[in-house]
Amino acid sequence: EKTVHRLSLIDVQGVPLKSQIVNNLDSILQFCPDPSDLLIATYPKAGTTWVQEIVDLLLNNGDAEACKRAPIINRNPFLDSCLSPPLPSGLDLLKEMKPPRVIKTHMPIQLVPKGFWDNKCKVIYVARNAKDNVVSYFYFDQMNLTHPEPGSWDGYIQKFMKGQLSWGSWYDHVKGYWRERKERNILYLLYEDMKENPGREIKKIRRYLGVSVSDDVIERIVQLTSFKTMKDNPMANYSFIPKLVFDQSVSLFMRKGEVGDWVNHFTPAQSQMFDEDYAKQMKDVDIQFRFRI
Ligand code: A3P
């Protein structure tokens, strides 16, 4: 069996990306979607998989069996595929699929292939409050053996604030899509809203996609996409990724799924320092993230 190794990050227009992505950057940026394709964009660990599962169920009228057909990476190819061989590249998977396709990306808005905007594709963006996002990313970087070593928690917070983690600055990422949301017709969702009232948020997605799905089916989708159900669903919980890529004995992909877990990780001093920096970095934008619900 091949071994994977932790990849290094390379700066692309101020955004640190894994070497493997940089090696394929031209083909990623030249990817030409069909106008019927849908893009799900997030900063890593904001709730990507959750929204992917919701969208897939909406497009299949809540038919869970249809959604269990294949692991989530095969149903919704990852455009900027972070996964290593023996896993297939997202671009290769996309070539084999017929539109309409649901495509996942972690690229900041300026690195999304132009074709998505030219073709007026629908785009769903999901954002999560910075503190829970960095906690989730810290655990993920420990178990994702293709990402650089996370190092200490204290150092990790610093890297997050400076935008030195894979896919760059959380602040630039969430702001970039926010500023363009009206102009480019992006549905901008918040993880905290989804936790607070998943049915309400799933109905927003239903309206945006323009699918006719009954309220009863929406209720079923709420159940099928609960944290517990997805955690136990082998086609959604990433257990299909070999242990040499995702070592879930270190930390589960479906780790906790809560709002406010950051209080269990930030010391009061770290929290204060983070808040001060946050106020500076977010002063030019009016997104209201909730750190507790
Ligand atoms: P935690 O590490 O805080 O548990 P992504 O899919 O973008 O990688 O995000 C993963 C995060 O979303 C993890 O957060 C994971 O547990 C959480 N998550 C996944 N499915 C979820 C669900 N159905 N409900 C709530 N949180 C979910």
Give the model's pLDDT for residue 83: 66
Supply the DSSP symbol for 127: E
> Which residues lie below 8 Å from residue 202, measured CB to CB, with a gap of 6+?
54, 58, 218, 221, 222, 225
| Longest pairwise C-alpha distance within the chain | 52
250 pLDDT above the threshold of 60: yes
Q: Considering the chain, what percentage of its residues have pLDDT values greater than 90? A: 92
84 pLDDT above the threshold of 80: no
CA distance 79 to 286: 29
195 CA: nearest ligand 1 atom: 25
* Collapsed DSSP state (helix, strand, coil) of residue 79: coil
Kindly indicate the confidence band of residue 69, based on its pLDDT and cuts at 50, 70 and 90.
confident
Active site residues: 106
140 CA: nearest ligand 1 atom: 2
* pLDDT 10s digits, 14-56: 999 999 899 999 999 999 999 999 999 999 999 999 999 999 9
Ligand 1 centre to CA of 223 (Å) is 15
Bridge partner list, 57:
none
255 CA: nearest ligand 1 atom: 4
Q: Is 193 in the pocket of ligand 1 (CB under 6 A)?
A: no
Kindly indicate the confidence band of residue 87, based on its pLDDT and cuts at 50, 70 and 90.
confident
Give the model's pLDDT for residue 39: 98
Query: Is the Cβ–Cβ distance between 111 and 31 less than 8 Å?
Result: no
Kindly indicate the confidence band of residue 68, based on its pLDDT and cuts at 50, 70 and 90.
low
Query: Is the Cβ–Cβ distance between 108 and 167 less than 8 Å?
Result: yes
151 pLDDT above the threshold of 90: yes
Q: Is 208 in the pocket of ligand 1 (CB under 6 A)?
A: no
For the segment 262-279, the average pLDDT, to the nearest whole number, is 98
Ligand 1 centre to CA of 45 (Å) is 6
Residue-averaged pLDDT of the chain: 95
Query: Is the Cβ–Cβ distance between 105 and 90 less than 8 Å?
Result: no
Bridge partner list, 122:
38
Kindly indicate the confidence band of residue 66, based on its pLDDT and cuts at 50, 70 and 90.
confident
Ligand 1 centre to CA of 133 (Å) is 10
Nearest residue CA, atom 23 of ligand 1? 227
For the segment 65-74, the average pLDDT, to the nearest whole number, is 84
Q: How far is CA 118 from CA 1, 73, 170, 175, in A?
A: 42, 25, 25, 21
Token code pair at residue 59: 């497009």
Nearest residue CA, atom 27 of ligand 1? 257
CA distance 4 to 239: 17
Ligand 1 centre to CA of 118 (Å) is 31
Q: Is 46 in the pocket of ligand 1 (CB under 6 A)?
A: yes
